[in-house]
Structure 1
Amino acid sequence: MASPAPTPRPGDQLAAATGTTRVIVIRAPEGGAGAIECGGVPMVPARQAPAAPAAGEAPGALIGKRYVDAADTLELLCTASGAGPLTYGGQPLTVKAPKALPASD
């Protein structure tokens, strides 16, 4: 199995080692100390991901959604849905709330 990316950087494309989830790192903390995981397994660079997807599981990460950590220092964009929750440093990531648009009045 391929080793996980040591430090996430903006632009990195990661894939779940055991499923179909794929993400792009939008924002990463300086000197990232934690591992980005999907379903409890560290994510790997997308080019090293296994070809066999896990079938028949409910999606844990949804395509097109942005996920952030509690401190809002890490942001991921999900480019392919898959099973298992996304975590960073053992803490779950949440869906980022959309920005409110200004009133047109």
Structure 2
Amino acid sequence: MKPGSRWKSAVCDAQMVVVRPPRASGVLQCGGSAVLELTDAAAPSGSIHPDHAGGVLIGKRYTDAESGIEVLGAKAGKGSLAFDGRPLQIKDAKPLPASD
């Protein structure tokens, strides 16, 4: 996985862009299934695992502290993101400096 590479879910409409690649190899998942390259012609099929049905939000960054991966939601979907089975967390926005 390289920065800027685009991926899609195999089980829902979600799409994502890798912002920061993982430090070690692993599997990016959406809805409990491994993601596919955006250029893959396969249409979403199958069912979303109930434990991975939290959804992907467009424009939100998702990260995993252990692997260092960071992805950006490019298209919303019903499946939630995980890396090697660990759920990705929405990255908090950086606070702006106070202007007094």
**TM-score (normalizing by structure 2):** 0.83
What residue number does 1:4 align with? none
Would you identify which runs of 4 or more consecutive aligned residues in structure 1 move more than 2 Å?
A: 49-54
Cα offset for 1:84?
1.2
Pair 1:98-2:89 in alignment? no
Contact 2:56 2:80 in 1 (8 A): yes
How many residues align structurally?
A: 94
Aligned counterparts of 2:26 and 2:38: Cα–Cα separation in 1: 18
Aligned counterparts of 2:56 and 2:88: Cα–Cα separation in 1: 10
Contact 1:11 1:25 in 2 (8 A): yes
What residue number does 1:35 align with? 27
Alignment map for 1:1-105 (pairs within 5 Å): 8-30=1-23, 32-51=24-43, 60-71=55-66, 73-105=68-100
Amino acid in the other structure paired with 2:66: A
Aligned counterparts of 1:64 and 1:53: Cα–Cα separation in 2: 24
Aligned counterparts of 2:66 and 2:42: Cα–Cα separation in 1: 31
CA RMSD after TM alignment: 2.0
Aligned counterparts of 1:72 and 1:99: Cα–Cα separation in 2: 21
Question: Structure 2: which 5+ residue stretches go unaligned?
Answer: 47-52
Identity over aligned residues, as a percent? 39
**TM-score (normalizing by structure 1):** 0.80
Contact 1:34 1:90 in 2 (8 A): no
Aligned counterparts of 1:59 and 1:74: Cα–Cα separation in 2: 19
